[in-house]
């Protein structure tokens, strides 16, 4: 079996490795719940239109337009996912790109941030997940891409939910939690847990 694919042998489902760039529509950082403590910088780009929640119309916020009018596009951090190997890596296109870092530094100083002395990328981070967190991560990436429109593909293709459903493991109920609680670990156990609470008057 190829090590560059995640394969459920009896179903023939394949989820190939992929790389995404964080590219939030409001230039916001993105928290990856399935990787505990993971906060990734979005691409930063001026004149991004946002949708008005009341009117449904798209417009460019004036404060954003003014602040980022001449700012170079800053690439977002990359998340590399290999479902078969259960590994991930976080990289920053700014790391080692001295020209881009210098351009950003000049713009920051020009826009009123004279105290900034150095701009540099974030060093690469590698990690490994268990099968449950990897399955949950793949679905989280799909939701970020299709729901929040907060990422874009860099390499490979976005997983299909039906394929992710067939990966080994269970979906975690609350993957970002850092505190002990009485909730079940897996989504599949949630309904029974709620029914048990109701029976016990919880």
Q: pLDDT digit string (tens) for 52-98?
A: 667 766 555 555 545 555 677 899 999 999 999 999 999 999 999 99
**14 and 82 in contact (C-beta within 8 Å)?**
no
pLDDT tens column, 92-117? 999 999 998 988 888 777 776 667 78
Tokens of residue 113, six digits: 């941030």
Alpha-carbon gap, residue 43 to 74, rounded angstroms = 5
Q: What is the pLDDT of residue 24?
A: 93
Q: Is 7 helix (H, G, I), strand (E, B) or coil?
A: strand
Is the predicted pLDDT of residue 22 greater than 50, yes or no?
A: yes
- Per this entry, what is the length of the chain? 202
Model confidence, pTM: 0.82
pLDDT digits (tens, 9 = 90+) for 149-198: 999 999 999 999 999 999 999 999 989 877 777 788 888 877 787 777 77
User: What pLDDT, on the 0 to 100 scale, is given for residue 65?
Assistant: 47
Q: How far apart are CA 108 and CA 112, in angstroms?
A: 6
Give me Rg for the CA atoms of the chain.
20
Interatomic CA distance for residues 95 and 201, integer angstroms: 55
Residue 125 pairs with which residues in a beta bridge?
90
If one compares 147 and 9, the residue with the highest pLDDT of the two is 147
Residue 48 reports pLDDT greater than 70: no
* Banded pLDDT at 51 (limits 50, 70, 90): low
Q: What is the pLDDT of residue 56?
A: 66
Q: Is the pLDDT of residue 10 over 90?
A: no
């Amino acid at each position: 079996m190829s090590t560059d694919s995640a394969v459920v042998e009896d179903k023939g489902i394949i989820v190939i490795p992929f790389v995404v760039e964080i590219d939030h529509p409001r230039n916001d950082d993105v928290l990856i719940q399935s990787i505990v403590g993971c906060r990734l910088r979005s691409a930063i780009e001026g004149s991004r239109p946002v949708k008005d929640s009341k009117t449904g119309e798209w417009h460019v916020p004036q404060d954003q337009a003014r602040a980022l009018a001449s700012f170079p596009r800053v690439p977002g951090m990359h998340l590399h996912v290999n479902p078969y190997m259960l590994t991930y890596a976080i990289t920053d296109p700014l790391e080692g790109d001295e020209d881009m870092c210098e351009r950003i530094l000049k713009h920051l100083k020009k826009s009123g941030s004279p105290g900034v002395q150095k701009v540099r990328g974030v060093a690469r981070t590698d990690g490994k997940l268990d099968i449950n967190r990897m399955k949950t991560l793949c679905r989280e990436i799909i939701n970020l891409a299709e729901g929040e429109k907060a990422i874009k593909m860099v390499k490979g293709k976005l997983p299909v939910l039906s394929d992710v459903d067939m990966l080994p493991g269970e979906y975690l109920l609350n993957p970002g939690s850092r505190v002990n609680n009485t909730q079940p670990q897996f989504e599949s156990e949630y309904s029974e847990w709620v029914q048990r609470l109701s029976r016990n008057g919880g």
